[in-house]
Amino acid sequence: DAGITQSPRYKITETGRQVTLMCHQTWSHSYMFWYRQDLGHGLRLIYYSAAADITDKGEVPDGYVVSRSKTENFPLTLESATRSQTSVYFCASNDMGQLNTEAFFGQGTRLTVV
């Protein structure tokens, strides 16, 4: 089905481990984003990408790495997971032209770092 999908939906990992969250979209949207959602903070932007091989930091990028070798995929890697990175992570995409428009979100990945 067309859309934006994240995997896994749930993940438990240990402090210090590397973990990668996957995001795939089928619309060929140029922009993709990673947000984290924490109680009282809403959605905070971690990284975004305007096109393949172009990525940029958002509001809270420390401890995260992204890549975008293909337009449809935008993986997020926690190089050495910390408890403070326990959160719900959302991937999103949109097709910005001359106007900013709505973002389409995946269903989220709930990550617990123990």
Instruction: Identify which of residues 43 and 65 has a Cβ nearer to another protein in the complex.
Output: 43
Q: Which residue from 24, 25, 46, 48 is in contact with another protein, where contact means CB under 8 A?
A: 48
Tell me how far apart the alpha carbons of residues 37 and 74 are, in angstroms, rounded to a whole number: 18
CB of 65 to another protein, least distance (A): 20
Binding mask 75-114 for another protein (x = CB under 8 A): ---------------x-x---x--xxxxx-xxxx------
Tell me how far apart the alpha carbons of residues 68 and 75 are, in angstroms, rounded to a whole number: 7
Residue with tokens 């993986």, as numbered in its chain: 75
Q: Which residue from 31, 34, 64, 74 is in contact with another protein, where contact means CB under 8 A?
A: 31
Residue pair 4/23 in contact by the 8 Å Cβ criterion: yes
Q: Which residue from 43, 67, 72, 86 is in contact with another protein, where contact means CB under 8 A?
A: 43
Q: How many residues bind another protein (CB under 8 A)?
A: 23
Tell me how far apart the alpha carbons of residues 20 and 110 are, in angstroms, rounded to a whole number: 12
Residue pair 15/78 in contact by the 8 Å Cβ criterion: no
Residue with tokens 């959302």, as numbered in its chain: 90
Residues engaged in binding another protein (CB under 8 A): 31, 35, 40-45, 48, 50, 56, 90, 92, 96, 99-103, 105-108
